[in-house]
Amino acid sequence: MEIEKIRKTIDKDTDEAVEDILTEVEERYGEIPYIVNFMKDMPELFIPRMIYENSVMREFRRMDPKTVELICIAVSSALRCEYCLKTHVRVAKRLGVSKEEIFDSILIASTISNAAVLAEGTRSLDSEFSEDESEKQNSRDGTCTICNIASELPEEE
């Protein structure tokens, strides 16, 4: 969101600012997403959140709206947020994104999610079954033998 637009929004009467934001959201999405509707009665949280969200998701010029929605779809898929996913699929469809493009973003998300599971799982497995006693001791001390970062987890007994 441009600074001047943010100032104008903040300077408005609270109810008017909320209504203006809701109107903008509905124009952009074609609907009012659940979270937005839920938070509208908490203007002290709603207004700053929406200003931030608009600044990140809609107002910068480095990505076009279709790309932003494809990223939202991928992240929603990876996080398994059914409601966000359905909302962003609808928005992408309204923007003219094809079913195939949407599916490609879901495939990419599934590949990265799969890699994350494998990376975490194999690191734990490798750490536990390491033949090097110093690596085992580091692991027991809470230090990752691969990235050398200390863990915050309690020690095993």
Q: pLDDT tens digits for 15-59?
A: 999 999 999 999 988 999 999 999 999 999 999 999 998 888 776
Predicted local confidence at residue 138, as pLDDT: 58
pLDDT on residue 137: 58
Taking residues 119-148, what's their average pLDDT?
72
Higher-pLDDT residue of 85 and 9 is: 85
* Range 89-114 average pLDDT: 96
Task: Count CB-CB contacts under 10 A for residue 8.
Answer: 13
From-to residues of CATH 1.20.1290 in the chain: 64-149
Asked whether the predicted pLDDT for residue 64 surpasses 80, the reply is yes
Average pLDDT, the chain: 87
CATH topology of domain 64-149: AhpD-like (1.20.1290)
Is the pLDDT at 156 greater than 70, yes or no? no
Q: How is residue 25 written in tokens?
A: 């959201």
Q: Is the pLDDT of residue 157 over 90?
A: no
**What pTM value is reported for the model?**
0.70
For residue 105, what are the CA distances in angstroms to 58, 62, 70, 78?
A: 19, 19, 6, 10
Q: What is the Cα–Cα distance from 154 to 157, expressed in whole angstroms?
A: 9
Return the axis-axis angle of helices 82-94 and 99-128, rounded to nearest 10°: 150
Percent of the chain with pLDDT over 70: 81
- Model confidence at 1: pLDDT above 60: no
Q: What is the mean pLDDT of residues 132-145?
A: 60
Answer yes or no: is pLDDT of 142 > 70. no
